[in-house]
């Protein structure tokens, strides 16, 4: 009888009915808004992961990921190029950027094929080098670390040197070892040189912001504005050099200089 009375009350009296429908709509709207926010967040994460995988596929097709197998200009068969680099996606789950030596923790480790001394980069530029690895996590020695010493070059003229960081500003590093008789244009693009086998040639590092003289030395101190903002870094890629052991083996055969 109580249910029948309430049904009759809300059905035949306009004001109570409108109040009931308005309240019900508000409750439903609040619930749907909350559901939308949660769904949007989950879908964003899912879409970002899908985009990251797509980026790996596309990057794996770039010339920088391959090594030429034959000389000459005529492609005879599909063995003309062999893939040298593969890429493993990861998330930054912990990081620092205000210390003299900064590190990033990634959510992947040896179980995913990660090894010490692998290079790490993002969509915007280089990040650092794998320093320690456990089964499910790895720690990256960041570009924002003293004596990082990554070989880089000025893309426009091929001048190369070592990337350094002075422990001061998280958006700026420098290149040492470039002769001061080299003419370098401001805002020239700086990329990885690729000689060590840790990074392919051509991964962005940043742009030349200014040149400074080094007292008593015939070299420039090239100030670089990093292309990546390490304070907001989230998604990265770990580089696997498929020919690393071969390179190390052949380089180990280089005779050492004998003291004079």
Domain ranges of the chain: 2-59, 88-244
Cα–Cα distance for residue pair 169/189, rounded to 1 Å? 19
Closest CA to 48 of 236, 225, 218, 206: 236
For every residue of the chain, DSSP letters joined together read: -HHHHHHHHHHH-HHHHHHHHHHHHHHHHHHHHHHHHHHHHHHHHHHHHHHHHHHHHHHTTSGGGEEE-S-SS---STTSEEE-EEEEEEEEEEE--SSSEEEEEES--GGGT--TT-EEE-SSSEEEEEEEE-SS-EEEEEEEETT--EEEEETTT--EEEEE--SS-TTEEEEEEEETTS---TT-EEEE---SSSS-TT-EEEEEEEEEE-TTSSEEEEEEEESS-TTS--EEEEEEETTHHHHHHHHTTSPPPPP-
Adjacent-strand bridge partners of 153? 160, 191
Q: According to the model, what pLDDT value does residue 117 have? A: 95
Q: According to the model, what pLDDT value does residue 234 have? A: 93
For every residue of 175-199, DSSP letters joined together read: EEEEETTS---TT-EEEE---SSSS
SS3 27: helix
Q: According to the model, what pLDDT value does residue 61 have? A: 56
Mean pLDDT by groups of 10 residues along the chain of 260 residues:
61 51 47 50 57 64 49 41 86 94 96 96 96 97 92 94 93 94 94 92 96 92 96 94 88 80
| Reported pTM | 0.70
Q: According to the model, what pLDDT value does residue 36 have? A: 45
The CATH architecture annotation of domain 88-244 reads: Beta Barrel (2.40)
Contact residues for 178 (Cβ-Cβ < 8 A; gap 6+): 154, 159, 160, 161, 184, 219, 220, 222
């Amino acid at each position: 009888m109580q249910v029948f009375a309430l049904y009759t009350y809300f059905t035949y009296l306009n004001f109570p009915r409108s109040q009931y429908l308005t309240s019900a709509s508000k409750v439903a709207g609040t619930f749907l808004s909350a559901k939308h926010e949660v769904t949007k967040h989950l879908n964003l994460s899912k879409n970002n992961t899908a985009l990251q995988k797509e980026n790996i596929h596309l990057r794996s097709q770039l010339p920088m990921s391959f090594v030429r197998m034959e000389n000459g200009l005529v492609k005879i068969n599909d063995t003309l190029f062999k893939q040298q680099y593969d890429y493993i996606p990861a998330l930054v789950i912990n990081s620092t950027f205000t210390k003299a030596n900064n590190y990033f923790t990634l959510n992947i480790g040896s179980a995913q094929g990660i090894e010490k001394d692998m290079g790490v980069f993002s969509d915007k530029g280089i990040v650092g080098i794998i320093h320690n690895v456990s089964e499910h996590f790895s720690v990256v020695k960041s570009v924002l670390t003293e004596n990082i010493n990554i070989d880089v070059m000025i893309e426009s003229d091929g001048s190369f040197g070592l990337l350094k960081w002075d422990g001061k500003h998280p958006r700026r590093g420098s290149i040492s070892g470039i002769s001061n008789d080299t003419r370098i244009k401001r805002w020239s693009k700086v990329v990885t040189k690729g000689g060590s086998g840790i990074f392919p040639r051509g991964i962005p590092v940043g742009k030349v912001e200014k040149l400074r003289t080094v007292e008593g030395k015939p070299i420039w101190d090239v100030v670089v504005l990093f292309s990546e903002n390490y304070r907001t870094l989230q998604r990265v890629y770990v580089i696997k050099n498929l020919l690393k052991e071969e390179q190390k083996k052949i380089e180990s055969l280089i005779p050492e200089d004998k003291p004079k």
